[in-house]
Each structure stands twice: as C-alpha cells, then as structure tokens.
Amino acid sequence: MAARAGIVVTGTEVLTGRVTDRNGPWLAERLRLLGVDVGQVVVVGDRREDLAAALRHLAGGHDLVITTGGLGPTADDLTAEVVAEVQGAVLRLDPDLEARIAARVASLTAARGWATAPEAMARGVRKQAMVPEGAHVLEPVGTAPGLVVPSAQGPAVLVLPGPPGELRPMWEDAVRDTLVLAALAGREELRQRTVRIWGPPEAELAEVLRTHEAERGLEGLEVTTCLREGELEVVTRFAPAAQGAYDRLEAALVAAFADAVYSTDGRTVDEVVFDLFAGTGATLATAESCTAGLLAGRVADLPGSSAHLVGGFVTYANEAKTALVGVPPRLLEEHGAVSPEVAEAMARGARERLGTTWGVGVTGVAGPGGGTPEKPVGLVHVCASSADRTEHRVLRLGGSREAVRRRTVVECLHLLRVLLDEGR
C-alpha cells in the first residue's frame, strides 16, 4: 500500500464557491509525482469545529494531512490554532520568526505605498508568528509561515498558506522537511497515463473497456473515465509492475477508436494544436463574435504561442463584423449574423487582414436571450479557412451561456487540430 495523504482546504469563500480551489488539485498532482496517493480532499469553512472534525476524519487512513489556507492576519484565519489543538500542542510566539515576518511586511508596505497603522500591522505579524510546540517552521513566501506539526497519536499535519503564489514555492521546502519525509516513507512509484478521445459517446467507451476487461483483464490498473465538453478522458493509474497491462489497454483503445484518439501522452488539445503549428511557419488569426476573444485568449494561454498567433478580432456587433473583417452587409441581411456564410466571411477576413495561413470565424447564439425557433440558443457556426481549404462546423449546444461559449472554443481547437494534422 502506497503512502496516502489527505488534504483539508479551508475557507468559507471556497466552500461557498466564491473562490475556486486551485490548491487541492495542484497538491494532488504533486503528491502523485512523489508516489503519494491522495484519498480525500475536504473543504471546510472558517469554522473551528468543522476544521477540527475534518482533521480528525483524515487522521484515520492517511499518513500525512495537509491543510491550505487560514493563515492570514484576520480573525477568521484559524488554522494554526485549530491544528495545534487537534495535534495536542501549545501555541507559542516565535520571536525570531516575528522579526522576519515584520521585515517582510515592512518591505511590502513600502513597495505598495500602504499607510496602515503600525499597531495593526504588528498585531497581524504577531498572530502569524504563533508556532505550535514541536512544530517545524517553513519560511514564509508572503507573510505567513508554513508549519509541520507532529502528533503523538496520529499523522503529522503540514500547514500551508492559501494563496497559490505562496503555497507553490513553499512546497519545495515542505517536501524536504524531515517530519514530512518520515510521514511519506512508504511512498512508491505510481504511474498515470491519459488517453484523450474526441467524438464517440461515453457508452461506447464503457463497452470497449468492459470487453477488454473480460478478454485481457485490468489487473493492477485503476481506470477512470470522464466526459467533459465533448472530450473523453481515460486516466489510468498503476504501479510499475502493471505497465504491461496498461500497454495492452492503451493499444485496445487506439484500435477501437483510431483517429478519434488525439492524445496518449498527456497532452491536451491545446498542446496538440500548439505542437502541430510548431516549426511549420503556419500562422493563425481569429474573428470571434459570441466567444468575444476567448478563443484567442485560450490559444495564448500557452507560452510561445506568439510563434503562430498573430492576432484577432472581436466582432461582437454587426458593424464590427463589417468594419473589422469586411463581412458584406448584404450577407448579414440575407443570412443573419449567425450563419455559415458569415462565419466563413469572418474566417477569410481575419486571415486576409493579418496575412496568416489560417483564419477561424465563430458566430453563434450564446444565450440566454436572442434565440429564435430557427436559430435557437446554442446554435453556433464555426469556420476555419486557409488559402486552399475551408471547413465548416455547425454546433447545436446545450447548457448555459458560459457552457456554450466554452464548448465552442473546444470545438474550434479540435477543428484546427484535424485540419493541421491533415496538412502535415
């Protein structure tokens, strides 16, 4: 059995969805790379009793418990105090740490030109310098130190700050800490491979998996599948001994789904498209109506995308479609803004105005208003065009405005992927 860690994410803002937790998933992936399995992530609000209950729950069945958040200077930041109590340790002021935090706060205050009263700052610093007896301190990246708090009865608790920009750099120190290393002594390599498929229904994937299991077995493989925005993901975790079984599974998926399998090496569709552009000299321009920049913005998520992304147009209003990418007003009158003709004119216009190899045009009804019986909410026309190839997609999407817009971006990326792949 591999070493197992449990994670407690604190913060009423996370529990109520005002903030999306980015630490739990990040830690889960880091732990996996270390060969540590994550069993459960518990999200609790800034309440003493819920945090204590979560810590006690995870103490069973886990070798290390990690908390994130609740280390700030405000009174609702309770983590150090509650962890100390659950681990049976007394909190004491660490004067050296207090001085180091005070220096950090002073330099931040100076840099940002804040005029906070010194007593207010000092009180916050003192709160953040309280350390449970017997705990190891991890140097602060922002103003909050991390802590590793051992216990006579249960697993050690690793206390990390909430802001990802503080937690991530501190992780490097955390995994070198002797108490953390001792807790994770039982870790063993756990491999993870992902097969990504675009197109077939989930039930078809289920059947292929069932058949493979019956014929060849899935011994030693933990297979999970997930359907998200039309993309099917098959993620398999296994110990090195099961590599052969995994190779057979992957071969079976590739045999069953052929070209629909677009990635077996962990790359997302964004990365596949990036790599298809790389080194070819091909370039891209976009013209977006309902997605209003989200496609270009997503292409630019990957550093280095300036090698192919030249620019784009947000042609939200009809007059912008005409003014920016030269969609003839006649086309808009005859076919309406949401039509294959206009999507194509947008794609061509973007390509021609920026002199790129490819242009992509997107126009649709994202909703919730603006739908008609002929052109309902969720109808989107996409076109990708180069000098010698023009390809259309008509999408009929369900769900919210946000879902329609996000899914449209994914569809555009897959259309580009298919066309770039053909052209290789």
Burial class (CB in 10 A: 0-12, 13-18, 19+), 40: middle
Distance in Å, CB of 39 to its own copies, minimum: 5
- In 341-388 the beta strands, taken as DSSP E runs, fall at 358-364, 379-386
- Between strands 136-138 and 146-149, the pairing is antiparallel
Distance in Å, CB of 340 to its own copies, minimum: 19
Nearer to its own copies, 121 or 384 (CB): 121
Nearer to its own copies, 38 or 276 (CB): 38
- Return the closest-CA partner of residue 64 out of 91, 31, 86: 31
How many Å apart are CA 20 and CA 6, to the nearest integer? Answer: 19
Nearer to its own copies, 402 or 421 (CB): 402
Burial class (CB in 10 A: 0-12, 13-18, 19+), 378: buried
Tokens of 79: 């983590």
User: CA-based Rg of the chain, rounded to a whole angstrom?
Assistant: 27
C-alpha dist (Å) from residue 163 to 51, 169, 220: 18, 11, 37
Distance in Å, CB of 136 to its own copies, minimum: 26
Nearer to its own copies, 9 or 89 (CB): 9
Nearer to its own copies, 134 or 395 (CB): 395
Distance in Å, CB of 17 to its own copies, minimum: 2
Nearer to its own copies, 179 or 397 (CB): 397
Tokens of 56: 């006690």
Distance in Å, CB of 25 to its own copies, minimum: 2
C-alpha dist (Å) from residue 73 to 67, 108, 233: 17, 14, 41
Nearer to its own copies, 41 or 276 (CB): 41
How many Å apart are CA 364 and CA 358, to the nearest integer? Answer: 20
Distance in Å, CB of 243 to its own copies, minimum: 20
240 cis-preceded (ω within 30 degrees of 0): no
Distance in Å, CB of 256 to its own copies, minimum: 12
Contact 376, 397 (CB under 8 A): no
Nearer to its own copies, 47 or 134 (CB): 47
Distance in Å, CB of 134 to its own copies, minimum: 27
Q: How many CA atoms lie within 13 A of 311 on its CB side?
A: 9
